[in-house]
C-alpha cells in the first residue's frame, strides 16, 4: 500500500473496505475466479457458508460498535472525573469567598457526575457484559467458518481433484459441503458459549482442526502431480496465504489509525504527558519558592496547577484506553502473526513437492487457530473492544 492510499482516509479503520474475498463474498471476486479458474471456482463457491458468515459478521460488527462506544464513554468520563477531582484541590481564592464556594461546587459536582458515569459504565460491562460476550461468540463463528472453508478443502483435496477431472460429479462435492456445515453447526458450534469456553481453555492449542476426524487424518494425502493439483494449489495460495498476509499488513499499517499507528500515537502521547507534567511540577516548585520569598505569584501558580491537573488526568486516561483495548498486546500479536505467515509463505514458495506445499498449508491452519485463540483471550481480558 503506497502512502497516498494509506493516508487517503486517515481516520477510518484500516479494514473499513476489507471484503473478505478469501471466502468469495463479493460478486466481483466470484466472477473473477470463475473467469480465471472455472473448475476451482466451482469447488470454492460455498453459498451456504458464505451466507452464514455474512450474518455472523454483521452481528459481530454491531456488537463491536456498541461495546466500543461504551468504552469511549468510560474513558472520557474518567478523564473528566480525574480532571475535576484534581481541580477541586486547587485554591482559586481565599476560603469562603463567593468565587471559592462556586469553584468547590463546580469541581465537586463535575467529579461526582463523571465518576458516576464512568463507574456505571464499568459496572454495566462487568455485571452485564453480554455485549462483549455476544461479540466474542459472533467473532468465534466468523473465524471458525473461515477456517472451516479452507480446512474442508485441504482435508478433501483428493475428492476435489476428482471433481475437477470429472471423475466425480460436482453435486457430490456440494453434498459433502452441506453435510460438513451441518455437522459443525450441530456439533462443534451447537452451543456457541461452550465452544468459546473450550477455545479459551485450550492451553495446548491442540484443536486447530475443527472436526475430530480431521485431527486424526494423515497430514498430507498421497497425490500424484497433475495439472489439476497445480491449478488448485495456485488458487489456494492466493486465497489463503497471500490474503492472510495482506490482511495482517492492512491491520498493522493500513491507515494512520491502524495498530502500528495507534501504538506509536500512545507512546508519543505518554512521553509528552510525562514531560509536560515534570515541567509543570518543576514550575510549581519554583513558583512556590518565589511566592514565599519574593512576591505573590498566585495567577501563575493557578495556571500551572490547572495545567498539571488536566495533563495528569490525560495520562491516566491514556493508560486506561490502552489497557482497556489491549492495543499494545494486539499489535505484538499481529506482528508475530505476520512474521509467522511470511515465514510459512516463503517455505511454501521454495517447496519443490506438493507434499511440502500442503504441509506448509497445514501448518498455517495451526498458526491461524493459535492467532484466533490469542485474539479471543486478549478480548476476554480487555474491558473494551479494539478497533
Q: Where exactly are the structural domains of the chain?
A: 45-381
**Which has the minimum average pLDDT: 56-65, 213-222, 330-339, 368-377?**
213-222
Closest CA to 135 of 351, 310, 376: 376
Question: What's the pLDDT band for 4 if we cut at 50, 70, 90?
Answer: very low
Q: Cα dihedral sign for 135, 137, 141, 147?
A: positive
Give the per-residue pLDDT at 8.
42
Residue entry with cell 473448475: 39
State what percent of residues in the chain have pLDDT above 90: 43
Question: What's the pLDDT band for 293 if we cut at 50, 70, 90?
Answer: low
* SS3 state at 18: coil
- Contact predicate 51/81, CB 8 Å: no
CA dihedral 339, 345, 351, 356 (to 10 degrees): 90
Q: Which residue has the higher pLDDT, 71 or 151?
A: 151
Give the per-residue pLDDT at 280.
85
Question: What's the pLDDT band for 10 if we cut at 50, 70, 90?
Answer: very low
Vertex 318, ends 262 and 86: CA angle to 5°? 160
Question: What's the pLDDT band for 124 if we cut at 50, 70, 90?
Answer: low
Question: What's the pLDDT band for 9 if we cut at 50, 70, 90?
Answer: very low
**Which has the minimum average pLDDT: 80-84, 162-166, 295-299?**
295-299
Give the per-residue pLDDT at 301.
73
Question: What's the pLDDT band for 5 if we cut at 50, 70, 90?
Answer: very low
Closest CA to 387 of 271, 250, 230, 242: 250
**What mean pLDDT is predicted for residues 260-282?**
89
**What mean pLDDT is predicted for residues 189-193?**
88
Neighbours of 224 (CB within 10 A): 8
CA dihedral 367, 370, 375, 378 (to 10 degrees): -140
Rounded Cα gap, residues 182 and 204, in angstroms:
27
Closest CA to 192 of 153, 143, 154: 143
pLDDT tens, residue by residue, 321-331: 777 777 888 89
In a 10 Å sphere around its CB, with 0-12 CB exposed, 13-18 middle and 19+ buried, how is residue 28 labelled?
exposed
**Which has the minimum average pLDDT: 14-18, 217-221, 251-255?**
14-18
**What mean pLDDT is predicted for residues 205-234?**
86
**Which has the minimum average pLDDT: 5-9, 20-24, 149-153, 226-230?**
5-9
**Which has the minimum average pLDDT: 48-52, 242-246, 302-306, 307-311?**
302-306
The reply to whether the predicted model has a pTM over 0.85 is no
Give the per-residue pLDDT at 172.
96
Closest CA to 20 of 235, 208, 246: 246
Rounded Cα gap, residues 240 and 53, in angstroms:
17
Q: Of 115-119, 337-341, 374-378, where does the model show the most confidence?
A: 337-341
Residue entry with cell 494512520: 256
**What mean pLDDT is predicted for residues 172-190?**
93
Question: What's the pLDDT band for 333 if we cut at 50, 70, 90?
Answer: very high
- Contact predicate 83/313, CB 8 Å: yes
Could you tell me what percentage of the chain is helix, strand and coil, using 3-state DSSP and rounding each to the nearest 5? Answer: 80, 0, 20
Question: What's the pLDDT band for 3 if we cut at 50, 70, 90?
Answer: very low
Q: Which residue has the higher pLDDT, 324 or 144?
A: 144
Closest CA to 382 of 314, 329, 317: 329
Phi-psi region at 73: left, alpha or beta (left = phi > 0; alpha = psi -120 to 50): alpha
Vertex 176, ends 170 and 177: CA angle to 5°? 90
**What mean pLDDT is predicted for residues 125-154?**
84
Give the per-residue pLDDT at 7.
41
In the predicted structure, residue 258 carries a pLDDT above the cut 70: yes
Neighbours of 326 (CB within 10 A): 22
Rounded Cα gap, residues 160 and 166, in angstroms:
10
Question: What's the pLDDT band for 242 if we cut at 50, 70, 90?
Answer: very high
* SS3 state at 274: helix
Question: What's the pLDDT band for 299 if we cut at 50, 70, 90?
Answer: low
The beta strands (E) that lie in the chain are given as: none
- Contact predicate 313/82, CB 8 Å: yes
In the predicted structure, residue 383 carries a pLDDT above the cut 80: no
What is the residue-averaged pLDDT of the chain?
84
Amino acid at each position: 500500500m503506497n502512502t497516498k492510499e494509506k493516508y487517503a482516509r486517515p481516520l477510518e479503520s484500516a479494514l473499513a473496505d476489507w471484503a473478505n474475498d478469501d471466502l468469495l463474498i463479493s460478486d466481483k471476486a466470484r466472477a473473477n475466479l470463475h473467469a480465471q479458474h472455472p473448475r476451482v471456482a466451482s469447488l470454492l463457491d460455498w453459498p451456504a457458508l458464505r451466507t452464514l458468515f455474512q450474518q455472523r459478521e454483521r452481528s459481530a460488527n454491531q456488537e463491536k460498535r456498541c461495546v466500543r462506544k461504551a468504552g469511549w464513554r468510560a474513558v472520557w468520563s474518567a478523564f473528566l472525573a480525574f480532571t475535576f477531582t484534581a481541580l477541586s484541590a486547587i485554591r482559586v481564592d481565599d476560603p469562603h469567598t463567593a468565587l471559592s464556594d462556586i469553584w468547590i461546587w463546580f469541581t465537586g459536582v463535575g467529579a461526582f457526575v463523571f465518576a458516576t458515569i464512568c463507574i456505571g459504565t464499568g459496572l454495566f460491562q462487568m455485571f452485564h457484559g453480554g455485549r462483549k460476550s455476544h461479540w466474542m461468540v459472533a467473532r468465534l463463528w466468523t473465524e471458525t467458518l473461515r477456517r472451516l472453508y479452507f480446512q474442508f478443502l485441504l482435508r478433501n483435496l483428493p475428492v476435489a481433484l476428482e471433481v475437477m477431472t470429472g471423475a466425480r460429479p460436482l453435486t457430490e462435492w456440494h453434498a459433502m459441503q452441506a453435510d460438513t456445515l451441518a455437522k459443525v453447526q450441530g456439533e462443534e458450534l451447537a452451543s456457541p458459549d461452550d465452544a468459546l469456553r473450550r477455545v479459551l481453555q485450550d492451553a495446548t492449542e491442540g484443536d486447530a482442526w475443527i472436526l475430530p476426524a480431521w485431527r486424526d487424518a494423515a497430514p498430507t494425502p498421497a497425490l500424484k502431480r497433475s495439472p489439476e493439483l497445480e491449478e488448485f494449489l495456485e488458487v489456494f495460495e492466493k486465497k489463503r496465504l497471500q490474503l492472510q498476509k495482506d490482511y495482517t499488513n492492512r491491520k498493522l499499517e493500513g491507515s494512520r489509525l491502524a495498530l502500528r499507528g495507534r501504538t506509536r500515537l500512545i507512546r508519543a502521547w505518554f512521553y509528552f504527558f510525562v514531560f509536560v507534567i515534570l515541567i509543570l511540577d518543576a514550575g510549581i516548585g519554583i513558583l512556590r519558592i518565589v511566592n514565599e520569598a519574593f512576591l505573590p505569584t498566585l495567577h501563575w501558580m493557578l495556571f500551572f496547577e490547572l495545567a498539571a491537573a488536566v495533563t495528569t488526568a490525560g495520562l491516566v486516561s491514556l493508560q486506561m484506553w490502552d489497557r482497556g483495548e489491549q492495543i499494545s498486546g494486539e499489535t505484538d500479536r499481529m506482528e508475530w502473526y505476520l512474521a509467522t505467515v511470511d515465514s510459512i509463505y516463503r517455505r511454501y514458495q521454495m517447496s519443490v513437492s506438493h507434499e511440502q506445499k500442503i504441509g506448509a498449508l497445514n501448518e498455517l491452519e495451526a498458526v491461524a487457530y493459535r492467532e484466533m485463540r490469542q485474539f479471543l483471550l486478549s478480548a476476554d481480558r480487555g474491558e473494551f473492544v479494539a478497533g
